[in-house]
Amino acid sequence: MSFLTSAQTSNGHASRYVFSPSGFGIEKDSAYLNVVGPLIDFQYGISDKVSVGIGTPFFLGVYGTASYHTQVSDKLFVKTGALIGVPTYGQGLFALPFAVGTYGTPDKQFSLGLGYSSFNSDDIEINGAALNIGGYHKLGSRAGFVYEVWYLPNSETAIISPNFRIYSNRDQRYWNFGFANFSQRFTYDQYKFLGYDTNWDGIPDTQDPSMGGWEIYDYNTIVGTSSYWERLILPTITFAMYL
């Protein structure tokens, strides 16, 4: 969700990747619109270092943002900020404080980010760290390659999204075209195997699988764990522009 808290610079739209922010920011008095599917986000530069915004994810909630960015050295930029919002229906609160550091230039950059997502509603509670890396590399006067990777330790979820970026003639807008690979690891317990029930009385009668019957386990004795990954791949198309 930290992509909600930043906007682009006119120099290559350097402050955003696909979803996540970089250490660059927008200029004073700049108005910026970003559309990611049904998500609509508006940002405004109060000064050359501070921006605020408002938006809605899927029209299921409304949020406000604020961020501060600064240049630490010739090629090192840092941004800190927060997003706070409420759902449009029911009770709840979601918040995302974050910090990101970027090394490079608007045409070639790499970022490391850290945030803490907190979402609490009537029946959903999600809290935990969010780690991400992102980068952009210029490929020509009107094209570039942009990527980002997310990892959520609490839910063991990883998101990888490579995209090509295409700019308009005047560099006032761009489109990202690519895909997002969502992967989540699920872990379950393995229990002690007692045997096969061939008499259908709940008591193991044999260890020979050729005899048939139901498998019987001791669910009070854990002998190990196993895990598997579930994956979902979706196309990504995003659009952003200065107003």
- Give the model's pLDDT for residue 16: 85
CA 143 from chain centre, in angstroms, equals 24
For residue 16, how many other CB atoms are within 10 A of its CB? 29
Q: What is the pLDDT of residues 45-93, one digit of tens each?
A: 999 999 999 999 887 889 999 999 999 999 999 999 999 999 888 788 8
- Tokens, residue 88: 């449009």
Q: Regarding predicted confidence, which is higher, 16 or 145?
A: 145
Instruction: Give this prediction's pTM.
Output: 0.81
Mean pLDDT of the chain: 89
- Give the model's pLDDT for residue 134: 96
Q: What is the pLDDT of residues 130-159, one digit of tens each?
A: 999 999 999 988 899 999 999 999 989 999
Q: What is the pLDDT of residues 154-201, one digit of tens each?
A: 989 999 999 999 998 776 889 999 999 999 999 999 999 999 999 888
Residue 3: pLDDT over 60: no
- Pairing verdict, β 31-36 and 39-45: antiparallel
